[in-house]
Amino acid sequence: MSKLSAMLMRLVAMLVTVAALAAQGSVKPEPPCPDCRPASETQIKTASNEFRADVHAQKGMTCVSCHEAARDSSNAVSYTIKRNRIPELCGSCHEDATRMKQFNPSLRTDQLAQYRISVHGIKFVKGDMHVAVCTDCHTVHSIQPASDPHSSIHPLNLAATCKRCHSDAAYMKSYGVATDQVAGYVESVHYKALVEEGDLSAPTCTTCHGSHGAAPPGVTAVANVCVTCHVLQGKFFEESPHKQAFALLELPGCVTCHESHRIHPPDDNFVGTGKSAVCGTCHIPGEAAGKMADATHGNFRRLETDIAGAKSLLNRAARSGMDVADAEVELTQASDALTKARVSLHSAQPARVAADLDVGAKIVAQAYAAGSAAWRERNNRRRATVLPVLALTALFVSAGLYVRALEGKGRKGRSE
């Protein structure tokens, strides 16, 4: 096709468009956007409707705030903002500290810079248009701050936002990356705490991965992510033989035993070399570490059972009127000691775990002693009340016999 005919065709196309626009009339965007490229009426209506609740509309911005900034090759304002221009468009304001300060001095202005160093951003710059851009996480025309419960980035909605791509095996096929993170996370203790208990301190995807600098934590950083919240387990793990051994084997810290996403609330069966225990995946029952694991499992169970036994002894004493309140309070400290042992287990140092267990065992022993003493006292008191009662009963019985004997005599006397 010659250059001339190509130009002619474009001219005709433009005229047709203008004619169509004039005929429709109503395609005018709100507010007017003089040289916008045409989009369908429904698209504009939908966008306009959605935009009403958008934070940008609420701050007084209009369609042209974004659409004018995006001009096509012929310098016409375009409704079709190409995907490869979106981060730049959003960044044109959000990177501009002076501009953003006028609206909200506390709002960070590093999102684009962060995005550029994320896995998403690095691939994006290389031309991969499958990765997330700003609007994939924030929506196009319903952008709201994270604090708004309707926002795509509200903690309770975030997993669904990532899920759109990360659970779509077909979409993620070419990357060879797993697509089970959301499914795993939704089963986790964290998701349950967040969604079912409304505990907003429990992590969602971006708590661990960062929102704009989204990248998987590296081998050394994995433990760091968890320990920002689970400080004590982190401290003990740092001091454990596993710290160095795992690093040498290039294994991550916490998630080697707990998994990254499908994190379940562990119980004492998780310690040891038994069926549902984690230590057995690396240690053999007979070897030193395996022995320690199995012994620890046994010790945890024993202390738990002993605490329960002491508790029911004290309960029974309390129910029969004995004052064992002090012992009951002290016994809760035995449970605390067991909790501490479950944490110090992360040191994989038998002496440390034993020290916590000993504290618990001593308290349990005291509780048993207090409970038994209360029972002895109860029995003594009972003996003290039983004797007079017996004596009285004997008295009544003998008195009754005496009366009957007298009555018998009287009857005899009358019949005589």
Judged by CB under 6 A, the chain residues 215 through 234 that form the site for ligand HEC are: 215-217, 222-223, 225-230, 233-234
Based on the shown chain and the rule CB under 6 A, indicate whether residue 245 belongs to the binding site for ligand HEC: yes
By the 8 A CB rule, do 225 and 208 touch?
A: yes
Query: Which residue, 4 or 231, has its beta carbon nearer to ligand HEC?
Result: 231
Q: How far is the CB of 365 from ligand HEC (least distance, A)?
A: 22
- Name the one residue in this structure whose structure tokens are 């669904």: 160
Query: Which residue, 252 or 371, has its beta carbon nearer to ligand HEC?
Result: 252
By the 8 A CB rule, do 213 and 118 touch?
A: yes
Single residue of 91, 274, 285, 309 touching ligand HEC by CB under 6 A: 91
Task: Tell me which residues in 248-287 interact with ligand HEC (CB under 6 A).
Answer: 251-258, 260-261, 263, 265-268, 270-271, 278-279, 281-283
**Chain-centre distance for alpha carbon 325:** 37
Q: How far is the CB of 180 from ligand HEC (least distance, A)?
A: 9
Q: How far is the CB of 284 from ligand HEC (least distance, A)?
A: 10
Q: Of 347, 264, 271, which is closest to residue 304 (Cα–Cα)?
A: 271
Q: How far is CA 37 from CA 14, 15, 29, 141, 142, in A?
A: 10, 13, 11, 18, 22
Say which residues have a Cβ less than 8 Å from residue 366's Cβ, sequence separation at least 6. Answer: 327, 330
Query: Which residue, 120 or 311, has its beta carbon nearer to ligand HEC?
Result: 120
Report the SS3 class of residue 76.
coil
> By CB under 6 A, which span of 4-12, 19-27, 36-44, 365-373 interacts with ligand HEC?
36-44
Residue type, 14: M
Based on the shown chain and the rule CB under 6 A, indicate whether residue 135 belongs to the binding site for ligand HEC: yes
By the 8 A CB rule, do 372 and 342 touch?
A: no
Other C-beta atoms within 10 Å of 258: how many? Answer: 20
Q: How far is CA 1 from CA 8, 14, 16, 396, in A?
A: 11, 19, 21, 130
DSSP letter for 275, please.
T
Based on the shown chain and the rule CB under 6 A, indicate whether residue 143 belongs to the binding site for ligand HEC: yes
The pattern of x and - marking residues 338 through 377 that bind ligand HEC according to CB under 6 A reads ----xx-xx-x-----------------------------
Task: Tell me which residues in 8-27 interact with ligand HEC (CB under 6 A).
Answer: none
Q: Is the peptide bond before 203 cis (omega within 30 degrees of 0)?
A: no
Query: Which residue, 21 or 343, has its beta carbon nearer to ligand HEC?
Result: 343
Task: Tell me which residues in 160-199 interact with ligand HEC (CB under 6 A).
Answer: 161-162, 164-166, 175, 177-178, 181-182, 185, 189-190, 193, 199
Q: How far is the CB of 16 from ligand HEC (least distance, A)?
A: 19
Distance of alpha carbon 333 from alpha carbon 335, whole angstroms:
5
Single residue of 153, 307, 364, 374 touching ligand HEC by CB under 6 A: 153
Other C-beta atoms within 10 Å of 155: how many? Answer: 20
**Cβ neighbourhood burial of 248 (10 Å; 0-12, 13-18, 19+):** exposed
Based on the shown chain and the rule CB under 6 A, indicate whether residue 299 belongs to the binding site for ligand HEC: no
Query: Which residue, 102 or 415, has its beta carbon nearer to ligand HEC?
Result: 102
Single residue of 124, 142, 213, 293 touching ligand HEC by CB under 6 A: 293
Q: How far is the CB of 20 from ligand HEC (least distance, A)?
A: 16
Q: How far is the CB of 311 from ligand HEC (least distance, A)?
A: 19
